[in-house]
Structure 1
Amino acid sequence: MKTTVAIVDDEEHLREAVAEYLDLQGFEVLSFRSAQAFREGSPGRTIDVAILDIAMPGEDGLSLARHIRRSGSTGIIMATAAGRPIDRIVGLEIGADDYLVKPYELRELLARIKSVLRRVKAAPAATGTATPAAQEGRSLKFGHLTLDLDARRLTGQEGSPIELTAMEFDLLQALATRPNRVLSRGQLQEFAHGRSADESDRSIDIRVTRLRKKIEPDPEHPRFIKTVRGEGYVFVPGGA
């Protein structure tokens, strides 16, 4: 069965170029000129990856991304105009898996699609049947730990405090508020620290190692922050 990719963009020439290129790469391609056209034409179709332009007339790509994320596990790639980092950050915040700056090269698009597909397929294997973190107001509970998002505090059994640096807290919050989802190092830099980073940057790895020493019963065999080889990390609140 072919992998299905949907492109939603109001630029006709771009849609045609992407559709032709991906068709030659063996994908089934669905092309939509607007969010409304996607909503009308996609029900009942299994879509593996959706490429969404952010700035479209009518409903924009960010709104459509929210709809898609609520509806299933489709991988989402946002296409954002150059010089608009806020679009990229908001897109990732609402559940997009990756982003591209327009105009983009078709070979780069193909690489991003393949990367997103690997993450989407890896997530179930990494998370098993883990349940989401229990949330009460602005607190997240996992294992015997409670992450208070408003007070920026992590506590253990009987409310004993666990000291975290500001960057460690930001990273844990980025992971814990997106459970059971594989996040790359670049995405974690965006979510936790509000800046883009090269995927080869290993500063996230260092902070993950420090976090594991503070929250994992056995840091050498982590239950909560799991590594997905070649992709990044996934937070499993059930500790599976």
Structure 2
Amino acid sequence: MQTAALSDPIETVDLETRLLIVDDDPGIRELTAAFLVSHGYVVDVAEDAAAMRTALVRHTYALVVLDVMMPGEDGLSVLRSLERTTAPPVIIMSVIGEEVDRIVGLEMGADDYIAKPANPRELLARIRSVLRRNQPRLDMIAAAAVASSARLYLRFADWRLDPLGRQLFDPDDVLINLSDGEFRLLIALVEHPRRVLTRDFLLDLSRGANAEHFDRAIDVQISRLRRKLQRSDGRGGDDLVRTVRNEGYMFTADVERR
């Protein structure tokens, strides 16, 4: 009878209810994921902030379970960077006794808090509670994801540029971080493929409000952009953006909008 009392029946869950577990401890990640999968959820895992951001780009999540203490960028920093209107609900986890993490996390917009090591059944109960409370928000996120899936991308040499979302994905579908200036410059190049563009022309199209008004500003930005466009096999940047001596630069790849 005691075993029956402790058993937790599997709750019927929409198969598209996808969760993301972010924790640098592989044991905790896999055990937590396996437990939640056994209760009907689709679960992905990420080992750090960078992997979390890549996962958020690739999938629409109903909820994120986020560890606070991670090497590199910590969980609170990641939480602070999320766009509140479009990001999924977040449950933060921190070691027992770190009261400041709980308070700061909730003030930053976390939907709930659970101490580590977390009891799997308590975590499951909190996930269910947060999902119920946030159903209208989740409906809006799902609708936005459907609209985004119909978005047109600028595609070149196996790269994918999202002009509306201001995001660049490499041939392995990894999100590449671009500064505002790099994004503007890339858009200018991609929208004028196989044409020689002068430095003045690129400066006019890509500069922000505080841009420097001299040719070398574009040369520096081009150099940075080429590094961002470098593939893991070494190909990319210099091949895609060619220097035309005494004239400017040319984007050499064919570009499709689809």
TM-score (norm 2): 0.46
Relative contact order: is structure 1 or structure 2 higher (C-alpha 8 Å, sep ≥ 6)? Answer: 1
Q: Which structure is larger by alpha-carbon Rg, 1 or 2?
A: 2
TM-score (norm 1): 0.49
